[in-house]
Structure 1
Amino acid sequence: MKTTILPTSDSNAISTALEFLRAGELVSFPTDTVYGVGTFAFNAEGATKIYAAKQRPPDKALPILLGGLSQIPLVAVDLPESALKLAEHFLPGALTLVVPKHPDIPEEVSSLETVGIRIPDHAFTRALLNAAGPMAVTSANISGQDSPVDAGGVYMQLNGSLPLILDGGRTAGILSSTVIDCTQEEIVILREGPIGLKEIQAVLKN
């Protein structure tokens, strides 16, 4: 497979990405952290291709990136009030919420009863997600290697595994968002990150 690099500034960047995504292929693009590789959130075959490209077993759930709050009901059900409050306050941003997954999310994306959702703080990424809908996205690297912060880094690792890399320049390179489990009565911080416990508690108290 030939891998093409297309600037995000190209007027056809999003439409070209959509063509490949609708054909079941993977697309890589910049986010507010590192470069990601993704497929439609409801595409089981696409999720399998992500695992193959990364050369890793499908033993981890893929995070789902959203273009905005209005897309949450497409991928999650029975959303607790705590999750809604946190989403409205902190998203877009470095916060991943683990919530009950929608039954339409395939096992290949998440074999659990839950799914992690996030809205990236990156204008182009959100524009793509608003056009494409929710996407299952993970870092665009071979498992165990460095997560790329530019299109060249993606090309070095995944050339031949996907048809399109959207080049938006260098990303911030921040790897971790704060991850919160919102499926229980009391929230649980699964991974500490840029958004701290005090900030979270302050929002939930209001």
Structure 2
Amino acid sequence: MGTVHASDYPEARPNRRLAVGPIHADRGPDAPSRVPLVRLARKPLGDPSFCSAVVETVVALSLGTKYLLDPAALARIRDILGAGGLVVHPTDTVYGLAADPFQAGAVDKLYAAKSRPRDLPVSISVADVGDVFRFGQRTAIAEAFCAKNLPGPYTVVLSATSEAPQAIVSKDGLIALRVPAHPISRLLAKAFGPVTSTSANRHGQPAPSTCEDAREQLGDRVDLYVDGGPTLLGGESTVVDLSGPRAKILRQGPIRPGA
């Protein structure tokens, strides 16, 4: 089967929803396909309001286990994150809420959107294991664990380095990091840099496994939603503290660590 790109669809106009039927790469617009509908709408960048009537949704095109984002959609995501906005996107576990962790205002907006207490730090998502040790201190136990289990559905807790974004470092000097086993999550981290990695839900509510679930909870508090269909595991990541001499599981997720 050939490649389907989001650019094959008509461009959305400002403040207008667009629903376009899925297109099969080889057999035309009427052929059966698992590619979901594309729904796009615009919300002005930099709008601080949580009650805008329109937010933007981009549907990632699914080809088997692969997902595609049109370059224009990826550029839009980068613009929103760079402007201090919030983006919901799929991961291997649940839908995540991304913000620029180096912008204090963006982190404030994230906590407000989730109604999350500020004494509960959030993690960051990075593109590969090498970036884990850019922001978290490298130890023998951490290196062995990450080499065996990442990318994967785990959050590792390490002592923060001087390069770590201070807005998400805990009072104890710790930082939580993820390398999700999901192409969209890693694409965002590669294209933009580290982003926050926290479940796209209101504090105390169930973590969403679909974009629709996330939108029901967060609504217009988010600037853009990336719909990649249901997540693979549907449960939050396993959190492992690797800051000490031994690994300690702080939260058990859907898969037990292999080390």
TM-score range, shorter chain: 0.7 to 0.9
- Which residue of structure 1 aligns with residue 88 of structure 2? 28
Please give the per-residue CA displacement for 1:75-118, whole angstroms capped at 9, x wherever unaligned.
223x1111111111110112221111123434431333011111
1:13 CA drift (Å): 2.5
1:173 CA drift (Å): 4.5
- Which residue of structure 1 aligns with residue 231 of structure 2? 171
Higher relative contact order (CA 8 A, sep 6+): 1
Q: Give the SS at the match of 1:40.
A: coil
1:71–1:133: 8 Å Cα contact kept in structure 2? no
Residue from 114, 120, 129 that aligns with 2:180:
120
Distance 1:155 1:186, change over 3 A: closer
2:209–2:235: 8 Å Cα contact kept in structure 1? no
Q: Do residues 195 (structure 1) and 256 (structure 2) align?
A: yes
- Which residue of structure 2 aligns with residue 6 of structure 1? 58
- Which residue of structure 2 aligns with residue 49 of structure 1? 109
Q: Give the SS at the match of 2:168.
A: coil
Q: Between 94-103 and 30-39, report the one with greater CA deviation.
A: 94-103
Take 2:166 and 2:120, find their aligned partners in 1: how far apart are those partners?
A: 11
1:24 CA drift (Å): 0.7
Residue pairs, 1:6-155, within 5 angstroms: 6-9=58-61, 10-11=69-70, 12-77=72-137, 79-112=138-171, 113-155=173-215
Identical-residue share of aligned pairs (%): 31
Take 2:210 and 2:187, find their aligned partners in 1: how far apart are those partners?
A: 19
Q: Give the SS at the match of 1:141.
A: coil
TM-score normalised to structure 2 length: 0.71
Take 2:217 and 2:239, find their aligned partners in 1: how far apart are those partners?
A: 27
1:17–1:27: 8 Å Cα contact kept in structure 2? yes
Aligned-partner residue type, residue 56 of structure 2? T
1:58–1:108: 8 Å Cα contact kept in structure 2? no
Aligned-partner residue type, residue 41 of structure 1? P
Q: Give the SS at the match of 2:221.
A: coil
TM-score normalised to structure 1 length: 0.87
2:101–2:167: 8 Å Cα contact kept in structure 1? no
1:56 CA drift (Å): 2.1
Please give the per-residue CA displacement for 1:35-79, whole angstroms capped at 9, x wherever unaligned.
1111123222211111100112211110111111222243223x1
Take 2:215 and 2:252, find their aligned partners in 1: how far apart are those partners?
A: 30
Take 1:28 and 1:54, find their aligned partners in 2: how far apart are those partners?
A: 12
Aligned-partner residue type, residue 57 of structure 2? I
Structure showing greater Rg: 2
The alignment covers a number of residue pairs equal to: 197
Please give the per-residue CA displacement for 1:128-181, whole angstroms capped at 9, x wherever unaligned.
111111111211111122222222222222121121001111112532333222
Any stretches of 5+ residues in structure 1 without a counterpart?
Answer: 201-206
1:60–1:110: 8 Å Cα contact kept in structure 2? no
Take 2:59 and 2:247, find their aligned partners in 1: how far apart are those partners?
A: 40
